[in-house]
């Protein structure tokens, strides 16, 4: 695996930048033999060592797929699925099927292919077995095999109090399964089986996001779970806590009531959350009275 920074430039006097991994704060990682869509990169990297830099020009016919590659790399840098928006078909079919890649500069480059300049600086080279692959770089079989270990690593990080790091692990495991699920017919037995593996990971991810006070993300994910699994107690409970945190009082009370209806044994836990919500409401009312009294007395 080679880890490197890259710049992509248009040919011409000004050499207008297309992509710059340094500007995004995330270097590229390429695993030799993974059928990367730009074989010229792999060919060059195989000859380079850490600290070396290469600058080379490629004719348009050799970089016709670069817009798709660039979109995937931009998605990776943003923490998204690199295959977002792509169905399971060949790259040429994808280029013709999608009117827009979501980036005007890539749309223009796709419409009018042109020579590009690549500037690559190698940061690190690792032999096989000495690194953990990112989910996007794994084969389908590798993704499925990696999920239990990634889940376990997330649990351990959570127990150590490293909540953001645990969330990142759960996200990676979810990404592996989501990528596999995209290739199945929605509602099919295989799709459902994968979804049932995704759900507990997503709930763990939501627990991390609750502790990071990212409540609206919790609301979105828990609602998506409950749209499919109406009896998921944990999703109701976590969504109730998120609603309470953002002052959606009626919604929080409704979710906690649903928790009790599904599992009465959780009454002590739910009662504690409701008391906490009521205390916060009283505190907020007192603060509002002081604030408004100051306004109207002026």
pLDDT tens by residue, 237-254: 999 999 999 999 999 999
Look at residue 33 and tell me if it is in a domain.
Answer: yes
Tell me the C-alpha distance between 254 and 260, whole Å: 10
From CA 220, how far away is CA 234, in angstroms rounded? 14
pLDDT (0 to 100) of residue 286: 81
The count of structural domains within the chain is 2
Is residue 95 domain-shared with residue 155, that is, in the same domain?
Answer: no
Residue 294 has pLDDT above 70, yes or no: no
pLDDT of residue 73: 83
State which residues form the domain around 268: 140-296
Please state the φ and ψ torsions of residue 62, each to the nearest 5 degrees: -90, -10
Q: What pLDDT, in 10s, does the model give residues 64-89?
A: 889 988 988 888 777 665 555 544 44
**DSSP state for residue 123 in the 8-state scheme:** E
At residue 28 the predicted structure's pLDDT band, cuts being 50, 70 and 90, is confident
pLDDT for position 86: 47
What mean pLDDT is predicted for residues 198-211? 97
Residues 51, 100: one domain?
yes
Q: What is the pLDDT of residue 29?
A: 83
pTM (whole model) above 0.85? no
Which one of 15-24, 78-87, 124-133, 249-258 scores highest in mean pLDDT? 249-258
Q: What is the CATH number of the domain that holds 276?
A: 1.25.40.10
67, 153: one domain: no
**Domain shared by 190 and 235, yes or no:** yes
What is the Cα–Cα distance from 179 to 97, expressed in whole angstroms? 20
Average per-residue pLDDT for the chain: 86
Instruction: Please name the helix (run of DSSP H) or strand (run of DSSP E) that holds residue 157, with its range, or none.
Output: helix 140-159
In the numeric block, the tokens 């976590």 are attached to: 238
Query: 93 vs 166, which has greater pLDDT?
Result: 166
**Both 100 and 150 in a single domain?**
no
Q: Give residue 35's region: left, alpha or beta (phi > 0; psi -120 to 50).
A: left
In the predicted model, what is the mean pLDDT of residues 27-49? 82
Same domain, 163 and 241: yes
Whichever domain contains 107, its CATH number is: 3.10.50.40
What is the model's pLDDT at position 137? 66
d(CA 198, CA 179): 11
DSSP reduced 3-state for 54: strand
Q: Model confidence at 128, in pLDDT bands (50, 70, 90)?
A: low
Residue 133 in any domain: the answer is no
Percent of the chain with pLDDT over 90: 59
pLDDT band at 99, cuts 50/70/90? low
* Chosen domain end from 74, 102, 125: 125
The reply to whether 114 and 155 lie within a common domain is: no
**70: closest CA among 102, 22, 32?**
102
Query: Is there a single domain that holds both residue 289 and residue 231?
Result: yes
pLDDT of 26: 82
């Amino acid at each position: 695996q080679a880890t490197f920074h890259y710049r992509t430039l248009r040919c011409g006097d000004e050499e207008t930048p297309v992509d710059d991994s340094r500007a995004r704060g995330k270097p590229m990682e390429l695993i030799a033999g993974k059928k990367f869509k730009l074989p010229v990169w792999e060919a060059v990297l195989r000859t380079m060592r850490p600290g070396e830099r290469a600058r080379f020009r490629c004719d348009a016919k050799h970089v016709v797929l670069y817009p798709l590659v660039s979109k995937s790399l931009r998605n990776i840098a943003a923490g998204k699925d690199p295959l977002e928006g792509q169905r399971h078909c060949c790259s040429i079919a994808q280029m013709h099927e999608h009117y827009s890649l979501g980036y005007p500069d890539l749309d223009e480059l796709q419409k009018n292919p042109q020579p590009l300049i690549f500037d690559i600086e190698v940061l690190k080279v690792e032999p096989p077995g000495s690194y953990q692959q990112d989910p996007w770089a794994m084969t389908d079989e590798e993704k499925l095999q990696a999920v239990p270990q990634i889940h376990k690593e997330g649990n351990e990080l959570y127990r150590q109090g490293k909540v953001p790091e645990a969330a990142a692990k759960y996200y990676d495991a979810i990404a592996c399964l989501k990528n596999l699920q995209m290739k199945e017919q929605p509602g099919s037995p295989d799709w459902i089986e994968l979804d049932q593996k995704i759900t507990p990971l997503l709930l763990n991810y939501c627990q991390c996001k609750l502790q990071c006070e990212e409540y609206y993300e919790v609301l979105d994910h828990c609602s998506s779970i409950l749209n499919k699994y109406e009896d998921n107690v944990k999703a109701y409970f976590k969504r109730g806590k998120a609603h309470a945190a953002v002052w959606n009082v009626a919604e929080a009370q409704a979710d906690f009531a649903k928790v009790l209806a599904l599992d009465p044994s959780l009454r002590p836990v739910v009662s504690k959350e409701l008391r906490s919500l009521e205390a916060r409401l009283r505190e907020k009312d007192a603060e509002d009275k002081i604030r408004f009294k100051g306004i109207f007395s002026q």
